Amino acid sequence: MYRNTPTTHVLTEKLVVKILQPISSWRMEMDRLKAHVEQRVPPRSLDISDAVVGYAQQLEFARFVEPQIGSNPHYFKSVLSRYIEQIESCSEETSDEVYELLVDPVVLNSRELAPDVAEVVKYHVGGFSRADDCVMKVEETPRLISGVNTTGLRTWEAALFLANFINNRDDDGEMRALFKDKVVLELGCGTGLLGLSLAKYGLVRRMIMTDGSTAVFEHNRKLVELNGLDTSAAVSWQQLVWGDDAFCIKEKVDVVVVAQAFQRHVASEPPESTARSN
């Protein structure tokens, strides 16, 4: 009968560590790649690691792509081409599973979606260094710069950056603690990624979403449902045009967040002055 002696125990541990190490490194790279694809990062900017081009990884990637390929065949055509390029540059063989996805006539003959076609994009917002479980789904028009007199129908990088900075799970919750039980107001909320991520994953007491354009609120409300946010969760929407006293906020606000403070050339009327006057 086999017995677990101290020596075999140590050997087993060593073996497990040896086996698990490479798995955990490709796992991280694979999760990151999937997160970037869900976020619709342009294929030319995808950083595809050599660790995710082996046969087992190709099968996993193919299984991940297959169910969503119909939502934007052109995007996935470019992603798969880029993936195959990387596979070949590592002198690996492209698996039939990956190749067949690319040569599907719907994918092969696809064209870029029109700018006004909306897509559900998934953003990871729990910190920069990992693809975690804090995911926000946003229905948006990522190819549209501006429409219906607003630039708020697509999510801008600044919102993703700030959402990750505040919701960060890697810094012992230091930033999250600053928002704990606070009434938080967002200026120029656009698609709502930042404010609604705080409502879902942050510790805020109340979230007041504001924007100059009321067109964005309709989209925001869809996101409440899409993200399974508790509708009784304290989120409200109010029109607020920066620098216009007619749109004064009556209640006491503890923290104001403004994603576009991270962007240059955003507006002629600085949102900072609105934050002060309210």
Ligand X SMILES: C[S@@+](CC[C@H](N)C(=O)[O-])C[C@H]1O[C@@H](n2cnc3c(N)ncnc32)[C@H](O)[C@@H]1O
**Is residue 123 a contact residue for ligand X (CB under 6 A)?**
no
**Is residue 191 a contact residue for ligand X (CB under 6 A)?**
yes
Provide the 10 A C-beta neighbour count for residue 267.
13
Residue placing its CB nearer to ligand X in the complex, 95 or 155: 155
197: helix, coil or strand? helix
N-terminal to C-terminal alpha carbon distance within the chain? 77
Task: Look up residue 216 and give its amino acid.
Answer: V
Say if residues 164 and 171 touch (Cβ distance below 8 Å): no
Binding mask 142-171 vs ligand X (x if CB under 6 A, - otherwise)? --------xxx--xx-xx------------
What residues contact 170, with CB distance under 8 A and at least 6 apart? 127, 128, 129, 130
Residue placing its CB nearer to ligand X in the complex, 64 or 262: 262
**Is residue 141 a contact residue for ligand X (CB under 6 A)?**
no
Contact region for ligand X (CB under 6 A) — 32-40, 42-50, 80-88, 189-197? Answer: 189-197
Residue placing its CB nearer to ligand X in the complex, 79 or 207: 207
Residue 219 C-beta: closest distance to ligand X, Å? 10
Provide the 10 A C-beta neighbour count for residue 72.
19
| Cα–Cα distance, 77 to 162 (Å, whole number) | 31
Residue placing its CB nearer to ligand X in the complex, 46 or 215: 215
Phi, psi angle pair for 29, to nearest 5°: -65, -40
DSSP classification of residue 47: -
Residue 148 C-beta: closest distance to ligand X, Å? 9
- How many chain residues are in contact with ligand X, going by CB under 6 A? 23
Long-range contacts of 108-117 (CB under 8 A, 24+ apart): 108/77, 110/73, 110/74, 110/77, 111/74, 112/74, 112/143, 113/72, 113/74, 113/75, 113/143, 114/143, 115/141, 115/143, 115/144, 115/147, 116/141, 116/144, 116/147, 117/141, 117/143
Contact region for ligand X (CB under 6 A) — 5-13, 89-97, 114-122, 263-271? Answer: 263-271
**Is residue 39 a contact residue for ligand X (CB under 6 A)?**
no
**Is residue 241 a contact residue for ligand X (CB under 6 A)?**
yes
Residue 266 C-beta: closest distance to ligand X, Å? 6
Give the footprint of ligand X on residues 208-237 (CB under 6 A).
211-213, 216
Residue placing its CB nearer to ligand X in the complex, 62 or 216: 216
Residue 183 C-beta: closest distance to ligand X, Å? 19
Which residues bind to ligand X, rule: CB under 6 A? Answer: 150-152, 155-156, 158-159, 188-191, 193, 211-213, 216, 241-242, 259-260, 266-267, 269
